[in-house]
Amino acid sequence: MSGVWPNVQIGWTMDRDQIRNAIEQGNTALGIEFGSTRIKAVLVDGKNKPIAQGSYDWENRFEEGIWTYRLADAQTGLISCFRSLKEDVNKKYDITLHTIGAMGVSAMMHGYMAFDQNQKLLVPFRTWRNTMTAAASQKLTEIFHFPIPQRWSIAHLYQAILNGEKHVDQIRYLTTLDGYIHWKLTGQKVIGIGQASGMFPIDTEQKDYRKDLAERFDQLVADKKYPWKVLDILPEVRSAGVPAGTLTEEGAAFLDPDGDLRAGIPMCPPEGDAGTGMVATNSVEPGTGNVSAGTSIFSMVVLEHPLSGVYPELDLVTTPEGEPVAMVHCNNCTSDLNAWVNMFREAAELFGCEVTADDLYGRLFRKAMESKTDCKGLLSYCYLSGEHITGMEEGRPLFARTPDSELHLSDFMRVQMYASMATLRMGMDILVQKEGICLARMLGHGGFFKTQGVGQKMMSDALNVPVTVMETAGEGGAWGMAILASFRRDNHNLGLAKYLNGHVFQDTRTLTEVPDKEGHLGFEQFMARFREGLYIERAAVKYLKV
């Protein structure tokens, strides 16, 4: 997708020799994030400006009814991503990367990785995309009086217990993907509080798991006589800025088999992509909010006061410092849209046209702006997988239209973009209509926003709130993780919000799109069609067998 801002040369405030010296002296920080389709590494200088990066593309697998990534793929991807980073450093600055001032690892939020006493993975990694824990989610929400979404680690654990899965008795450690990688690099079984809040409910005053709910869980499964209590198998919680171990000799070899990287690098607590998204958009203070739109889509609203009710559609999680956040998380966003774009690329190639991804997405997104805002007669569901908010246990990507509708490329692209936001809007309605939360603006980041003024304007119309995109929006979660590593190294006793305002975003430019009456009304008309058409999607799940 085309960038919001003109290309900026790496090393915004330093010349090549200064950057080279910073790298050699370890005045840097590294963030590595395992995203849904890409593992990315970003190296920043002492002012948190990106100076080098690496990446590795990967994809989840749907195996035996489970969305998963294999551990071998994670290790291969990590090694390849870091090697790509080293090559970028060498190419730009003619030096070998031997040390880093601080580093941290992030990954997709939620998930289920259960290990035995020999550090063996007991069942394939179950990702956030799985929606097979409805019974556990409902029961735990009822017992805890606290919303437990299907993606959460504790929901997966309890569902495994309900299913009578034999591996549960052997569990000695339960973590998420970033927690696993951090463990391999440091030997420490710890996790950042933001990611921990997607495993088990957090006490935002004590900055730790809620012990009262842990006791309820242990009582719930007491008859099983497992050789563990739930808090015994969860990783230790750490807030942003708190030390979380150092890179060990074994960890350095795991990350860099070439043997160039030295051990001893300070590590910050591993975090989820929701936490790094909040950091990357400077949305960690009460009253701020951001929306991340890519493979999945989620909004994060930092709460100024507790919610009055319990809503299964909402996650109650935290910032990387442990402040309470209401999260609307939807499994599906641009995956189906990407599939359509790839088909259009094939069509272009039939005529001998070669187009870059940036040009193709940019042209198609801008074409969508030519459409009528209501997309009359067109309906789309981007559900590649199940969707908790609408009660879909499985997904079926679906496009339908009435016989009298007009089908033009602009209309088709707009309805695909509308579909990518529709489920998020349903969750946001709870915060706005039932809880009376008013936001002055939302910060947007992710691939959906990279074509200037398109996804941003549609999101503004959809949520009926101004949406701001920073010039740094394209840097993503790996950059947010690098900032957390810098904060661990030199936070100067500041809180995270003050550190971000004073050391990261003080000179950042922004672009803001505001909703207009026609655009908002058009999306409202689409949303009415979307809600009514959910019966069509349910029928597709029932009768269109995988």
List, for residues 245-304, the tens digit of each pLDDT value. Answer: 999 999 999 999 999 999 999 999 999 988 998 999 899 999 899 998 988 899 999 999
pLDDT in tens, 366-407: 999 999 899 999 999 999 999 989 999 899 999 999 999 989
Rounded Cα distance, 367 and 520, in Å: 19
Q: Is the pLDDT of residue 6 over 50?
A: no
Which domains does the chain carry?
281-474+525-545 (3.30.420.40)
The model's pLDDT over 69-111, given as tens digits with 9 standing for 90+, comes to 999 999 999 999 999 999 999 999 999 999 999 999 999 888 9
Q: What is the pLDDT of residue 493?
A: 78
Sign of CA dihedral 440, 444, 449, 455: negative
Structure tokens at 97: 């990367």
pTM of the model: 0.85
Q: Which residues pair with 246 in a beta bridge?
A: 266
Tell me if 230 sits within 8 A of 217, measured CB to CB: yes
Which pLDDT belongs to residue 7? 36
132 vs 236, which has greater pLDDT? 236
Amino acid at 217: F
Q: Is the pLDDT of residue 30 over 90?
A: yes
pLDDT of residue 199: 97
Write the pLDDT tens digit of every residue in 197-226: 999 999 999 999 999 999 999 999 999 999
The angle at the Cα of 158, spanning 152 to 162, to the nearest 5 degrees, equals 140
Whole-number pLDDT of residue 491: 66
Indicate whether 528 pLDDT > 60.
yes
Q: Whole-angstrom Cα distance, residue 387 to residue 64?
A: 19
Q: pLDDT grade, residue 473 (50/70/90)?
A: low
β 315-318/173-175 pair status: unpaired
Q: State the pLDDT confidence band at 478, using cuts at 50, 70 and 90.
A: very high
* Mean pLDDT computed over 14-32: 92
Inform me whether the pLDDT recorded for 12 exceeds 50.
no
Higher-pLDDT residue of 77 and 445 is 77
List Cβ neighbours of 237 (8 Å cut-off, separation of 6 or more): 190, 191, 192, 193, 196, 202, 207, 208, 209
pLDDT tens column, 157-199: 999 999 999 999 999 999 999 999 999 999 999 999 999 999 9
* Span 57-66, average pLDDT: 90
**Distance between first and last Cα of the chain:** 31
Residue type, 335: S
Strands 66-68 and 510-513: unpaired
pLDDT for the residue numbered 474: 63
Label residue 492 by pLDDT band (50, 70, 90). low
Q: Which of 239-243, 409-413, 438-442 has the lowest mean pLDDT?
A: 438-442
Identify the band that residue 131 occupies on the pLDDT scale cut at 50, 70 and 90: confident
Residue 302: its H or E element: strand 297-302
CB 179 within 8 A of CB 195: yes
Share of the chain above pLDDT 70, in %: 97
Q: Which of 218, 223, 126, 112 is nearest to 173 (CA)?
A: 112
- Cα(25)–Cα(450) distance, rounded to whole angstroms? 34
Q: Are 62 and 135 in contact (CB under 8 A)?
A: no
Q: Mean pLDDT of all residues in the chain?
A: 92
Can you tell me the distance from the alpha carbon of 65 to that of 179, in angstroms, rounded to the nearest whole number? 24
Largest separation between any pair of C-alpha atoms in the chain? 67
Cα distances (angstroms) measured from residue 98 to each of 37, 82, 182, 417, 489 = 28, 12, 19, 44, 18
Q: Return the pLDDT at 9.
A: 36
| Residue with the two structure tokens 């009822």 | 142
Which candidate, 284, 297, 302, places its Cα nearest to that of 505? Answer: 284
**Per-residue pLDDT band at 3 (split at 50, 70, 90):** very low
Q: What is the pLDDT of residue 477?
A: 86
pLDDT for position 14: 64
Burial class (CB in 10 A: 0-12, 13-18, 19+), 108: buried
